Amino acid sequence: MCRLFGFRSSTPAAVHPSLVTEKNSLLIQSREHKDGWGIAAYGAEPLPLVAHGVGPAHSDPDFERVSSRVSSHTVVAHIRLASVGAVELRNSHPFHHGRWSFGHNGTVREFARHRPAVEALISPSFRPNIKGTTDSERCFYLFLTRLSARHSLEHPVPVESVARAVAETMSLVAAITDQPGDPNRSAMNFLVTNGEVMVASRRNRPLLLSTGPSCGGVAGLPPVGTQVPQFVVASESLCGGPYWGTVDEEDVIGVDARLVFHRWRVPELAGGDLFPPVNPGAPQNAA
């Protein structure tokens, strides 16, 4: 298990409290989730600034140093409790490719056995980019495979298309790993952004949403179509209080570039013919 944090706002803001000083900040959570950390922050440039550490965030001065300097409109942060793959820098989240950053809370069931089948769904143009040994990094490149089949990764992408690629990734992996009637399912809470849109999914792990600054949003999820001040997702409440809404199981939520809130069900997004692989000979819109 790991812990995720995603932040999207119309104006840059400091995330140091959420990462370090709130009573249940990621730094506090890292006492249990101690196998590495990462922060991706987006500024004026299209590509994120990304920092990783291999040790516990609570005992790594770089985590607090990086956190204190981040003032951004879009941030993805992650602390890791290793389940698949060694504790190595190359296995620390968030993973990134071009404009895109990706974190995962969960585990792909029996990944060692299913790894070849998952990798077979990844476009050959992306496979050389895989550096580590985790299930999460492969889910990221499967997501990029699905998204790049429809859009250039170097240009703005509709939030609906990002959500669809997330749901397709979840459904394709589940079709490989899950057994009918077995409650031990692959857990796939994904968080992905290109700095403009941000999308998160829930499957077999808790996921919470806040829509106000400094944990001051209204409890519950906002109505679809609402423009929110901020979009903050986390695996746990960072500050206590009635400021967090619970994302439903098998839901995908997100905001577009204007911070308009969207919500979908995975089966609705992932319907249709998922399983034919992307044509290996077709050009891919990779970043």
**What is the per-residue pLDDT across 79-111, written as a single tens digit (0 to 9) for each?**
887 787 777 889 999 999 999 999 999 999 999
| Range name among 64-78, 200-214, 233-247, 264-278 with the lowest pLDDT average | 264-278
In terms of Cβ atoms closer than 10 Å to its own Cβ (0-12, 13-18, 19+), residue 272 is exposed
| 6 membership: H or E segment, kind and range | strand 2-14
Domains of the chain: 2-269 (3.60.20.10)
Residues in the chain: 287
pLDDT band at 241 (very low <50, low <70, confident <90, very high): low
Where is pLDDT greater, at 165 or 22? Answer: 165
Could you tell me which of 62, 55, 68 has the C-alpha nearest to residue 19? 68
8 A C-beta contact, residue 34 and residue 65: no
Q: What are phi and psi of 214, to 5 degrees?
A: 55, 45
Most confident of 3-17, 26-40, 255-269: 255-269
pLDDT of residue 144: 98
How confident is the prediction for the chain on average, in pLDDT? Answer: 88
Residue 185: CB atoms within 10 Å: 14
pLDDT of residue 218: 60
Mean pLDDT, range 178-182, rounded to an integer: 88
| 184 membership: H or E segment, kind and range | none
Peptide bond into 94 cis (omega under 30): yes
Quick check: 278 pLDDT over 50?
no
| Range name among 32-46, 215-229, 251-265 with the lowest pLDDT average | 215-229
Q: What are phi and psi of 96, to 5 degrees?
A: -145, 150
In angstroms, the CA 95 to CA 40 distance is: 9
Angle separating helix axes 135-148 and 159-177, nearest 10 degrees: 130
8 A C-beta contact, residue 241 and residue 208: no
pLDDT of residue 266: 96
Mean pLDDT, range 47-72, rounded to an integer: 90
* pLDDT (tens digit per residue) in 116-144: 999 999 999 999 999 999 999 999 999 99
8 A C-beta contact, residue 91 and residue 135: no
Could you tell me which of 160, 147, 163, 133 has the C-alpha nearest to residue 99? 147
Quick check: 213 pLDDT over 80?
no
pLDDT of residue 279: 39
Quick check: 23 pLDDT over 80?
no
